[in-house]
Structure 1
Amino acid sequence: MSRPQPPSFSAVAPSSTSPAQRPERQRQSLWLMLAASLWIATVCNLPLWRELLKLPELQTVRGLWFGLCFAVMIAGATTALLSLFAWRWTLKPAITLFLVSAAAGGYFMMAYGIVIDPTMMVNALQTDARETRDLLNWQFAAAIVVLGILPAWWAWRQPVRRTPVLRQLLRNLLSFALGLAVLIGALFAVFQDMSSLMRNHTQLRYLINPLNSFYALGKVAAKPFERDNTRILPLGQDARIADATDTASKPPLLLLVLGETGRSGNFALNGYARPTTPGLSALAARPDERLTSFRNAWSCGTNTAASVPCMFSHLGRTAFEDRKANYEGLMDVLSRSGMAVLWIDNQSGCKGACDRIPNVSTTQLQDPALCSEGECFDDIMLKDLDGRIKALPAERRAKGVVVVLHQMGSHGPAYYKRTPTAFKKFMPECTSNALQECSPAQLVNAYDNTIFYTDHFLSSAVDWLKTQETASAPAMMYVADHGESLGENNIYLHGMPYNIAPDVQKHVPWITWLSPAFEARSRISTGCLQKRADERISHDNYFHSVLGMLGVQTAVYQPALDLFAPCTDRQAAATKSP
C-alpha cells in the first residue's frame, strides 16, 4: 500500500492573505494621489493654517468655511500635479518627493517663521555644507520622518492596479481634470475672500506647501532664460585714477569689510542700549578720529545671494533685478583702473563679485587658535594681511590697494559658533540651532555677542590700518549685506521677500573710518558726513561711493549716488573735522 505523497510546494495556490495578489485590495492610482494630497493639504500646511488663524477676519464661521475651501484647493492642485506622474514607475517616487519636500518646507516655515519664494530658494541652493550643518537638528529629522518618510512608506506598501498604457493615460487626464475642477470650484466658492486675502496678506501665497517650493524652483530654473548668461559684459573700460588733490599724497589703502547678517539697531554706536560696540564707540567719541556711522542705511536684498552681487553692481536694486544681461562689477572696475585688488573670504563665497580678481578663502585654514571644525573666526582674515598685500603686483600697489574682507559675522542660526569664548559678553546665550527652543533673552544674547565680536574685528582692522600710515593713506568702510529677524512676530533668520520683509532684515549698519591722510587725499569731510548720518542711503550708493572716495573716474560713475560727493566740495573741505 503506497503512502500518500505530500503536495508539492510548486502546486500550492497563492495565499488568500497576500494583499499584493488580491485584485479587490488593489487600488486605482487616483485614491493614492488623493490620500497623499489630503495629508499634504492639511498636516504639512500647518504653517499656513497657523498664519490664517492669526487673522481677525477669519475668526468667524465664514472664516472656517474659507479655510476648508483653501485646503480643498491645495489638495486639488496637488492631485492635478501628481496625475502628471501617475504611471507605474513614477507615481510613488513622485508622491515621495512631494511628501519629503512638504515635510522639509513645513518644518523650516514652522520653526523659523520664514516663507519660501524664489529668493529663498536661491539662498538655499547656494548654501554650503557648513551652513547646512547649522540648520540640522533632531526636530528637523523628526519632521522629515513623521511628515514625509512614514507617509511615503505607507504609500509604497499600497498595491496599485496596473492598467494598459492608453487606459492609464485616459485615467491620468481624468485625474488632472478632476483636480483642476476641484481647485476651481473651491476657488469660486470663496473667490471674494481669497482675492482680498491675497491682496492684503501677500506672504500667504509663499506658505502654500510644497507648491511654493516647486514654484520657486521653477522661477530659479527659468532665470537663465530671462537674460543672456552666456557672457558678462565689460564695465568701466575707461576707468582711471584721478590725480590726487595733494601732490604729496600717498596711495590709498581701503579695507571694504563686507558684513554678514548685521542689524543696524543692535549696534550701540547707533543708539542700542547694550554696549555691543565699545571699540567703535570709543573711536567715535574721540575728536581726532574720523569715524561716521550712517544710521539709516538699507540693503539691496534680504540674503547674501541677492545682496552681494547687487551692492557690487552699478545698477541699483530695481535695475539689477530687471537686468537683461550680466555685467562686471565694482572689483573689476577698480582692477581696470590699475589698482591692486584682493578679496579675502571667510564665508560661503563672493557670489560672483570676485570671480575675475585675486581672491582667497580662509574657511579651510588650519589655525589652532582661530579655526575649528571647518570654520574660522573672522580674525583669521587679518592674520598675515601684510604678506597677502605684498604679494600683489608692485606697480598696482603704487596706485592704491583695495581689499575686501567678507565676514562670517553674525550668520545664523548657530550664532554661538561665531564668537570666541573671550567675546561672549552677554550670557546666558542660546547654544542651539533650533532657535525656538531658546528664550528671547538667550537668543538676543547670542546675537549680540556676534556684534560684540564684529566690533572687535573692526577695531582691530582700524588698528592695523594705522600701522600702514607711513606708506599709504588708509581707510575702512564696513557695510552689512542684510539684517536678521530674532523672533519678532515669530520670524527668525532672514530671506523674506523684500517687499514684505520686516525692516530688521533690511536695515543695515554702514560705518566709515578715514585716516587723516585719506581725508586729505580725497577731500572728504568727516564733519560733513556726520551731519548727514541720518539721511537715508542704501546699497544703491555702494558702487558709486567706493569709486568716489578712491577718485576713480569712469563714465559709469554716478555722482548723485555717491554719498561722499556732497562732502567733497571746497566748502565741505574747509569745514572738515580736525
Structure 2
Amino acid sequence: MLLPHSLTRAPFLLRRRNAPDTEPHAAPPHSPLALAWWIALWIAGPANWPLWKAFAGLPDVTGTRGLLFGIGFGLMIAAATAALLSLLAWRPTFKPALTVVLLTAAVSAHFMGSYGVVIDPTMILNVLGTDVRETRDLLSLRLLESLLLLAALPLWWLWRRPVDYQRGAVRAIRNLASLAGALVMLAAMTLLCFQDLSGTMRNHKELRYLVNPLNGFYSVGRVAYAKQARPAGPPMPIGLDARPLPPLAGQRTPLLLLVVGETARADHFALNGYPRDTDPELRALDVLSFRNVTSCGTNTAASLPCMVSHLGRTAHEARSHNYENLLDLLQHAGLAVLWIENQAGCKEVCDRVPHTRPEQPAPGATPPDDRLCPNGECLDEAMLHGLDARLAALPAPQRAHGVVLVIHQMGSHGPAYSQRSPADRKRFTPECTSTVLQQCDHQRLVNAYDNSIAYTDHVLAQSVRWLRQQTASYDPAMLYLSDHGESLGENNLYLHGLPYAIAPREQKHVPMIAWLPPQRLQADRLDLGCLRGRLDTSLSHDNLFHTVLGLARVRAGEYQPALDALAPCRAAS
C-alpha cells in the first residue's frame, strides 16, 4: 500500500527534530560548553592583552610567584567568563551571544590598549552620548586589525563548528553543571591567589577596570540600575524662590557669556605658566585666570551635569533623585537663557531651556559659511556667528532681568586634535593628523593639541569683542571653564575618562578664565586687586553654580556665598 507523501517524510522529520546543527557525513558535533570554555580562554588570554601588558609592568608581581599569580588570575577571568557563557549555551542564543561577547572584547581591548582608557560606568555614559562625528574620529586601521585578530578569527572558527545542543532538560542540567564548575574554579583560584590578589588590587586599582569584557558588562549593568533606581518623571525642581536682585545705582542688565570648554588642560595655557604662547589674545585682554581648578569628572557625561548641579560632586554622584540645574534656576528667576551646542549634546542639562546649534541660525540671520562649517562640522567660532540676532530673539521681559548665553565648545576634543583648529590658525607645526595617537611623534601630538588651545584663545577673545559691543545696554562678563582635561601620552595614557579616583592630574586640572571689564567690576563692587590675589585659590566645578548666580545677580535658597569664587572680593552693598 502506498502511504501519503507527508507520512513518508514523518520519520525523517522526527529524526531531525533533536539533531545537532550539522549535516550527514559532516565533522562530529561539539558540545556548546566545550566551545564556551575555549572562547573563555581566548578572551582571558589574547583579548585581555591590555590587562596583561599592565600586569607585566607591575614591580610587585615579578619572578616565579608573579608568574603563578598571573596564571591564576587568568584562570579566574576565564572561569568568570565561562560562567557567563554557560548561561547562554542554548540553541537560539549561543553563537549570537558569543559573537557579541567577542566583538565587545575586541573593541574594548583596542581602546584600552591604544589610549589607556578604561570601560567603567561613566565611560559607558560617554559612549551612549557619542554622535556620528565623534565615532568617525575614532575609526582607524588599528581598530580594524583588532577586530580581525581578536574577534573575526575566533568567530570564523566558532561558526564553522557544528554544535550538539541536545534536548532541553539535558541542556539545562549540563549548563548548570558548567556554571557550578566555573564558580567552583573561580572560588578555588581566588583562595589560592588571595594574598597576591588583594594586595595587587589594593595597590593597583586600575587593574580591576581592565578585565575585559566583564568590566564593560558590569558597567552597563551599573548604568542601567542607576537609571532605574532613580524615580521616573521630571527632575525635582530647585530655585523656586529664585529672584533677580534689585539693581543698584549705576548697574545695567547683567549679560553673562558662559563658555563651557571641552578637553582643555590648565597647564597648556600660557596664562597658567605654560612656556608656549598658546593664549596671546586673552593675555592682551587682561583676563583673570584661576590656576588651581579641579573638574568633577574626567569625561563630559560625568562633568557637565555635575558642573551645573547645586549639589557638588560628592552629593551629585550619590544622589537618589534627579534635580533641575543652574539653567532651570536662572529661568525660574525670570532671566533669558540660551544654550548653543557644538558638541555631541548637552547631556540633558539644556533640555528645559532654549537651545540651538551654530548651523541653525536665529530668525532673520544667515547660517555660517563653509569657512566656519567645513564638511558639515562647525568650528567653535561659528557659535559666535549671528549672536546679535540670537540675543534680540530672546523674550524682551526676560532680557530685562538678565541674559545668560552658554556656548558648549568642541574645544580640544580628541583624538582628532588637528581638526579642532582651522588651517590659518596653526601656530605650532608640524602637527599630528592621525587619530592613532600612540603612533604619533609626541611633539607633533602636542603641537596639534596646542593649536586647539590657541584656537580656543581666539574664540574667547572674539567673544569678548562681541561682549564689548553690548556695554550700552548691559553689564557684560565672560566666564570660561573646561569640563575635564586630557592625557597626551604621559604614562602611556591618552584622551580622558579614567575613573576619578585613579585619574591623573592632567585629566582633572582645568582652566577657568574670567573677563570682567571695568564697567562690570564697578557695577558689582568687585575689587580687582583682591581677585588677582586669589588666582591660586583652590577651586573646583563645585564653585561654578554659585559663581554664575553671583555674576547673574540672582539669589535663591541654593546659593552659597562661600562657594562663589568672586564673593570674597565683592563689597557689601
Band of TM-score, shorter chain: over 0.9
Decide which of 465, 481, 485 is 1:463's aligned counterpart: 465
For 1:522, give the aligned amino acid: D
| Cross-structure match for 2:30 | 27
Q: Decide whether the 8 Å contact of 1:96 with 1:149 is kept in 2.
A: no
Q: Which whole-Å CA distance do the structure 1 matches of 2:22 and 2:335 have between them?
A: 75
Q: Decide whether the 8 Å contact of 1:342 with 1:403 is kept in 2.
A: yes
Decide which of 402, 408, 411 is 2:410's aligned counterpart: 408
Q: When the two structures are superposed, what TM-score results if normalisation uses the length of structure 2?
A: 0.93
Decide which of 102, 117, 124 is 1:121's aligned counterpart: 124
| Cross-structure match for 1:48 | 51
Q: Which whole-Å CA distance do the structure 1 matches of 2:165 and 2:316 have between them?
A: 52
For 2:82, give the aligned amino acid: T
> Aligned pairs, how many?
547
Q: Which whole-Å CA distance do the structure 2 matches of 1:142 and 1:71 have between them?
A: 24
1:366 Cα deviation from its structure 2 partner: 5.8
Q: Unpaired runs of 5+ in structure 2?
A: 1-20, 361-366
Q: Which whole-Å CA distance do the structure 1 matches of 2:236 and 2:27 have between them?
A: 65
| SS of aligned partner of 1:352 | coil
1:539 Cα deviation from its structure 2 partner: 0.4
Q: Which whole-Å CA distance do the structure 1 matches of 2:467 and 2:27 have between them?
A: 81
For 2:218, give the aligned amino acid: Y
Decide which of 357, 361, 383 is 2:357's aligned counterpart: 361
1:231 Cα deviation from its structure 2 partner: 2.3
| Cross-structure match for 1:298 | 294
| Cross-structure match for 2:211 | 208
1:363 Cα deviation from its structure 2 partner: 5.4
| Cross-structure match for 1:230 | 233
Q: Decide whether the 8 Å contact of 2:102 with 2:150 is kept in 1.
A: yes
| Cross-structure match for 2:105 | 102
For 1:480, give the aligned amino acid: S
| 1:375 pairs with 2:377 | yes
| Cross-structure match for 1:392 | 394
Structure 1 residues 475-506: Cα deviation after superposition (integer angstroms, max 9, x where no partner): 00000000000011111000110010001100
Q: Which whole-Å CA distance do the structure 2 matches of 1:58 and 1:21 have between them?
A: 52
| Cross-structure match for 2:18 | none
| 1:158 pairs with 2:161 | yes
Q: Which whole-Å CA distance do the structure 2 matches of 1:69 and 1:75 have between them?
A: 10
| Cross-structure match for 2:3 | none
1:122 Cα deviation from its structure 2 partner: 0.8
Q: Unpaired runs of 5+ in structure 1?
A: 1-17, 285-290, 574-578
| Cross-structure match for 1:322 | 318
Structure 1 residues 549-575: Cα deviation after superposition (integer angstroms, max 9, x where no partner): 2221111111111111111125xx9xx
For 1:175, give the aligned amino acid: S
| SS of aligned partner of 2:260 | strand
Q: Decide whether the 8 Å contact of 1:229 with 1:325 is kept in 2.
A: no
Q: Decide whether the 8 Å contact of 1:116 with 1:212 is kept in 2.
A: yes
Structure 1 residues 19-48: Cα deviation after superposition (integer angstroms, max 9, x where no partner): 743587211112101110111000000000
Q: Which whole-Å CA distance do the structure 1 matches of 2:199 and 2:389 have between them?
A: 61
Q: Decide whether the 8 Å contact of 1:345 with 1:363 is kept in 2.
A: no
1:179-190 matches, cutoff 5 A: 179-190=182-193
1:129-528 matches, cutoff 5 A: 129-245=132-248, 247-284=249-286, 291-362=287-358, 367-528=369-530
Q: Which whole-Å CA distance do the structure 2 matches of 1:222 and 1:363 have between them?
A: 36
| SS of aligned partner of 2:48 | helix
| SS of aligned partner of 2:232 | strand
Root mean square deviation of aligned Cα: 1.4
1:305 Cα deviation from its structure 2 partner: 0.7
1:536-555 matches, cutoff 5 A: 536-555=538-557
| SS of aligned partner of 2:445 | helix
Rate the CA distance shift 1:390–1:79 in 2: closer, same or farther, 3 A: same
1:435 Cα deviation from its structure 2 partner: 0.6
1:146 Cα deviation from its structure 2 partner: 1.5
Q: Decide whether the 8 Å contact of 1:130 with 1:374 is kept in 2.
A: no
For 2:322, give the aligned amino acid: N
Q: Which whole-Å CA distance do the structure 2 matches of 1:563 and 1:308 have between them?
A: 19
What is the identity percentage for the equivalent residue pairs of Structure 1 and Structure 2?
53
| SS of aligned partner of 2:124 | helix
Decide which of 557, 560, 565 is 1:558's aligned counterpart: 560
Decide which of 38, 41, 61 is 2:41's aligned counterpart: 38
For 2:308, give the aligned amino acid: F
Q: Decide whether the 8 Å contact of 1:232 with 1:325 is kept in 2.
A: yes
Q: Which whole-Å CA distance do the structure 2 matches of 1:22 and 1:542 have between them?
A: 72
For 2:253, give the aligned amino acid: P
Structure 1 residues 274-307: Cα deviation after superposition (integer angstroms, max 9, x where no partner): 00000112223xxxxxx21100001010011111
| Cross-structure match for 1:9 | none
Q: Which whole-Å CA distance do the structure 2 matches of 1:97 and 1:445 have between them?
A: 38
1:243 Cα deviation from its structure 2 partner: 1.8
Q: Which whole-Å CA distance do the structure 2 matches of 1:502 and 1:341 have between them?
A: 35
Rate the CA distance shift 1:23–1:347 in 2: closer, same or farther, 3 A: closer
Q: Which whole-Å CA distance do the structure 2 matches of 1:366 and 1:93 have between them?
A: 46
Range with greater deviation from structure 2 (350-359 or 502-511): 350-359
| SS of aligned partner of 2:89 | coil
| SS of aligned partner of 1:542 | helix
Q: Which whole-Å CA distance do the structure 2 matches of 1:470 and 1:560 have between them?
A: 32
| SS of aligned partner of 2:401 | coil
Q: Which whole-Å CA distance do the structure 2 matches of 1:206 and 1:25 have between them?
A: 40
Q: Decide whether the 8 Å contact of 1:378 with 1:408 is kept in 2.
A: yes
For 1:166, give the aligned amino acid: A
1:153 Cα deviation from its structure 2 partner: 1.8
Q: Decide whether the 8 Å contact of 2:480 with 2:512 is kept in 1.
A: yes
- Which 4+ residue blocks in structure 1 deviate beyond 6 angstroms? none
Rate the CA distance shift 1:363–1:104 in 2: closer, same or farther, 3 A: farther
Q: When the two structures are superposed, what TM-score results if normalisation uses the length of structure 1?
A: 0.93
